[in-house]
Amino acid sequence: MQRLSGLDASFLYLETPSQVMSVAAVVQIDPSTISGGYTFDSMRSEMGRRVRGLPALRRRLADSVTNVDHPVWVEDDDFAIERHVHRIAIPSPGGVREMAQMCGHLVGQVLDRTKPLWDLWVLEGMADGRVALLLRMHHACVDGATVADILGELATDTPHPPPLDPELVKQTAGGGSRLDIAVGGAVNFFLQRPVAFARLIPKTVPVPFEWIRRARTGGGMPAPFLAPRTRFNAPLTARRTLAFAQLPLDDVKRVKDHYGVKVNDVVLAIAGGALREYLESRGELPAEPLVGLVPVSVRGAAEGDLVEAGTNKVTGMFTRLPTSVADPVDRIRVAGEYGRQAKGHHGGIDANIFRGYAEFAPGNVMGALMRMYVDRRLSGLHPPVFNAVVSNVAGPDRPMYLLGGRVEAVYPMGPIFHGLGLNITVMSSDGVMNVGLLSCPDLVPDLWDLVEAFGSQLDLLLATVPDAPPDE
C-alpha cells in the first residue's frame, strides 16, 4: 500500500458535490489515422492494454475507521476497463461548442471512489468526423505535471500501438489490510508528525515578515485575501462550463522575441488583456489589478522531512495580472515586471512549506468545515484569496497520436473552488497554443466571449511587432 500525502488527501477532504476536485483534459483527435479504422470497442480494448503499463491508473483508495492518518492507495484486484471507458454522443450539430457543453456536464460529476479515480469518455458525433476524448482524474492522484506525463505515456509519435514497459506492468501499489492501514497511520500521526512539525516551524517564522516587507516596497507577490472582487469570486453551483481556443504558437513566439520576454509573460499579458476586455465590456472592471494564482511544480526539490512522498508536487505563486493597463504594449511589459517580482519572492520561500503543513490536514474536521463553508456561502463574505488560476503547460512540439488518432487539440484544465471560479489553462503542442477555460455558468454564462478575447489580445500584440524582413 502507498499512503497519500497530506496535500493529495486534502483534495479528497475538500470535495463536495459543487466543488469537484478533478483534473481533466479534452483531446480532439482525427480517427482516420487509427490502424484498421476507428471503433469504440477497439479503442477501449487498446486503452485497457495501455493501462497495464500505467500503475497510477490501476490503484484505488482504501481506508479504515480506526485509521487516524490519511487514506492509502492499493492495487485494484477487480479492475475492469469497462468501468472506466465510456462513450457518449455529442448533440447536433456536433460543433466544438456542443462538444464543450457535453464535457462541461461530465466534468461537473464526482468520480466514484470505490474504483480507481479516473475515467475516459469517448465523445462521438462531431460534424467533421472528429472524435473527442475527455480524460478525468481526481486531483488526489494527479497534478498538472502528472496529467501531462500520463498524456505523454498514452500519446505516441506514430499511430501504431507501442509495446508496454515490462517494469511498469509489474509495478503495483500492493494490498493493505485494515490493521496495516490503522497501525501505519498511528505511527505517522503520533510519532512522525510531531517531529516534522517541530522542524517546520523555524522555516515558517520568517515568511510572513518577509512578505510584509516586500508588500511595503511593492516588490513581491500580492498578499492573499486582498484581490478585488469580480463575478468569478462567488459561491459555485454543481454546473460547469468550458470554452476552448487555439492560438498560433509562432505568433506567440514572435511577440516574445520582439519584447524580450518569456512565453509565460506573453500568456499572462494575453490573459490579463482578455480579462480586462471581458470585464470592461460589462462595466465590471476593478481599478486595481486582478490577482492570479500560477501553479508551480516543485518536482526535483529536496523534500527532507517536511513532507511525505506524494503525487501532487506543486505549489502556487501569486502574481498581479495587468488588467488595469489599457495599452497592450505597456501591458506586456507590466506583465513581465509582475512576473519577475512574483518569481523573486516565491523563490525565497521553501517550496515545500505549504505541502509540509498539508500533512497535518484533519480529514473529518476539514470535510465538515468545507461543508459548512459551502452551506453558509461564506466565500461571498470575505475578500477573494485570488481571482483566477492561470496555468501554462509546455507540451511536446511535434505531431502526437493518442490511441492511434492524430491529436489536433489538447485542452487540460484544473478544478475551480468556491469563491475562485475561473481556471485558465494554456498548453502548447505541435505548433499551437491551446487555451482551455473552466468556470461555473451561474457565474459566467458567456465564457466563450472570454476565450475569444484571447485571440483578439494576441492580434493587438502582433500589430505592434514589425514584419520579419524577407529572406534574401
Flag whether 186 is in a domain: no
Q: Are residues 169 and 236 in the same domain?
A: no
Range of the domain at 67: 2-179
Q: Assess if residue 336 is contained within a domain.
A: yes
Spatial distance between the Cα atoms of 99 and 411, rounded to a whole number of angstroms? 12
152 found inside a domain: yes
Confirm if 253 and 263 have CB atoms less than 8 A apart.
yes
Catalytic residue numbers?
139
Q: Which helix (H) or strand (E) holds 367?
A: helix 363-375
Would you say residue 184 lies in a domain?
Answer: no
Total domain count, the chain: 2
* Residue 212 maps to a domain: no
Q: Domain check: are 40 and 161 in the same one?
A: yes
From 201-210, 243-252, 398-407, the region with the lowest mean pLDDT? 201-210
For the stretch 203-226, pLDDT in tens is 888 888 787 777 676 678 998 899
* 246 and 150, same domain (yes or no): no
Confidence of residue 302 (pLDDT cuts 50, 70, 90): very low
* Closest of 144, 158, 8 to residue 70, by C-alpha: 8
pLDDT one-digit tens code per residue, 149-181 = 788 788 899 999 899 999 999 999 999 899 999
Q: What pLDDT score was predicted for residue 195?
A: 87
Tell me, yes or no, whether 284 and 170 share the same domain: no
With a pLDDT cut of 70, the percent of the chain lying above it is 94
**At which of 150, 179, 208 does a domain end?**
179
Q: What is the pLDDT of residue 391?
A: 92
Q: Which of 179, 194, 228 is the last residue of a domain?
A: 179
Q: What is the CATH number of the domain that holds 373?
A: 3.30.559.30
How far does CA 271 lie from the centroid of its chain? 16
**Contact, 333 vs 259, CB < 8 A?**
yes
Q: Are residues 271 and 154 in the same domain?
A: no
Q: What is the pLDDT of residue 345?
A: 86
Residue 301 is predicted with a pLDDT of 47
Could you tell me the CATH number of the domain that includes residue 102? 3.30.559.10
For 134-146, how does the pLDDT look when each residue is reduced to its tens digit (9 = 90+)?
Answer: 999 999 988 766 7
Regarding whether 237 and 127 lie in a shared domain, the answer is no
- Condensed to tens digits (0 to 9), the pLDDT of residues 68-107 reads 999 999 999 999 999 999 999 999 999 999 999 999 999 9
Residue 210's Cβ-side half-sphere holds a number of Cα atoms within 13 Å equal to 14
Which of 130, 160, 179 marks a domain boundary? 179
In this model, does residue 425 exceed pLDDT 60? yes
pLDDT class of 348 with cuts at 50, 70, 90: confident
Q: Residue 410 falls within a domain, yes or no? A: no
298 and 151 in a common domain: no
Whole-prediction pTM:
0.92
- Among 238-242, 349-353, 411-415, 422-426, name the one with the lowest average pLDDT: 349-353
| Same domain, yes or no: 159 and 241 | no
Greatest C-alpha distance within the chain: 76
Three-class secondary structure of residue 293 per DSSP: strand
Q: Is residue 409 part of a domain?
A: no
- The answer as to whether 69 is a domain residue is yes
Q: Tell me: pLDDT of 122 over 60.
A: yes
